[in-house]
Structure 1
């Protein structure tokens, strides 16, 4: 007798959409198409172009055409004008699952998310030594990794056999930022983010931020990592530009 085929969850992921005040009407068809192709939409930061609340207002209106759950993290552009708390509240009001050291379970998939931070990768990762300003920079990366670990641990403690997905803005590995100038690698992500991803048995991680990086990579433990920055998806021929991952 044939066994019943397990239903897959289709995740559509994209980062760096950089919505502007002049974008009214630009994204409605895009989000409607995502809703047809996927079960969950993941937005990997830089949701607004310059962190203006007026840009977030446009995004909130455009998202009304999306009728599937939306999971998101903020990016560095969303912090530009120190409006990140307001932007977060606006999107939560639109029923977006905003993650910042938080997690949400949709079906049998658990999403844990943080913005992340820089600091570099592997042997070139910045250490906590020297001037207070350097230590503060490194501490931010450490804190973001700890927040991610906490979010993943709560999925583990609250659920049985849930498949875990990490949602980030900054990269957790070097492979998916390759293509960018090497001089700016320390500002594109940190290997500190990879540690909880490896240890917590994450299925896949999505990030953006590196607009001319590389679409696919994996951690040292073989966890799939995808840089779904919109410019990369456009370059790779995705039309409309969103990446589908089944889990």
Structure 2
């Protein structure tokens, strides 16, 4: 599940839902935008609710978690709960390898933004290239036969369908899928696109799931159950 967008002024608690997930699954995966403004106080509220989890928690941050420049403190708070916050790293849980990066924007297919023109454009493209390099390095560390790639930004266009066309380039990048398809993975999950589609495949045929909280899933719940 992703895109919780925890806010200080929102009294809603996820404790009951997290407890339910702990009874239904073996590992709880979070795909970023855990906080709304990237504030340490918001992360503390989430950390309090994560105490209801009796299973391992692993995930990545999203763009909202960087908004206030407190992302390192957000990571620390969440890691203090025992959560595996991946930022270009991998970990293994019960024989399954988990690889995670935030990812970045840039567009899809032939319409991807190229590194040409103004320095600002080149820097933008450099950001996603850096994320894909970190993703590739992390994937090379996985020794498990089963693996899950965790992103915030989308690696394919199919799982962002129903979003406004004008914002497609800001929802993800095909460069992420190109990197993943150099390996064999069991599944890929992401968030970020609140009005996207649940399931799609990379050009190499690997399964991709948009698990943002707002997406309709087969469970009928805010979370998806994926067997690895």
TM range (shorter): over 0.9
The answer as to whether partners of 1:78 and 1:84 remain within 8 angstroms in 2 is yes
The answer as to whether partners of 2:101 and 2:131 remain within 8 angstroms in 1 is yes
Aligned to 2:222: 241
Match of 2:22 among 29, 32, 35: 35
After TM superposition, where is structure 1 displaced by more than 4 Å over at least 4 residues in a row?
A: 236-239
1:148–1:69 distance in 2 versus 1, CA, 3 Å = same
Between 1:223-232 and 1:236-245, the stretch displaced more is 236-245
| Higher percent of residues as helix | 1
Tell me whether 1:151 sits opposite 2:138 in the alignment.
yes
CA shift, 1:26, in A, is 1.3
Separation of aligned partners in 2, 1:87 and 1:239 = 30
Match of 2:145 among 156, 162, 181: 162
Tell me whether 1:46 sits opposite 2:33 in the alignment.
yes
Describe the SS at the equivalent of 2:114: coil
The higher radius of gyration belongs to 1
| TM-score, normalised by the number of residues in structure 1 | 0.90
Greater relative CO (CA pairs within 8 A, separation 6+)? 1
| CA RMSD across the alignment | 1.2
CA shift, 1:203, in A, is 1.2
Describe the SS at the equivalent of 1:103: strand
CA shift, 1:186, in A, is 0.6
The answer as to whether partners of 1:73 and 1:99 remain within 8 angstroms in 2 is yes
Separation of aligned partners in 1, 2:187 and 2:94 = 16
1:24–1:59 distance in 2 versus 1, CA, 3 Å = farther
CA shift, 1:23, in A, is 4.4
| TM-score, normalised by the number of residues in structure 2 | 0.97
Match of 1:220 among 180, 186, 203: 203
Describe the SS at the equivalent of 2:107: coil
Aligned to 2:108: 121
Match of 1:231 among 191, 199, 214: 214
CA shift, 1:162, in A, is 2.6
- Any unmatched runs of 5+ in structure 1? 1-13
Separation of aligned partners in 1, 2:106 and 2:95 = 33
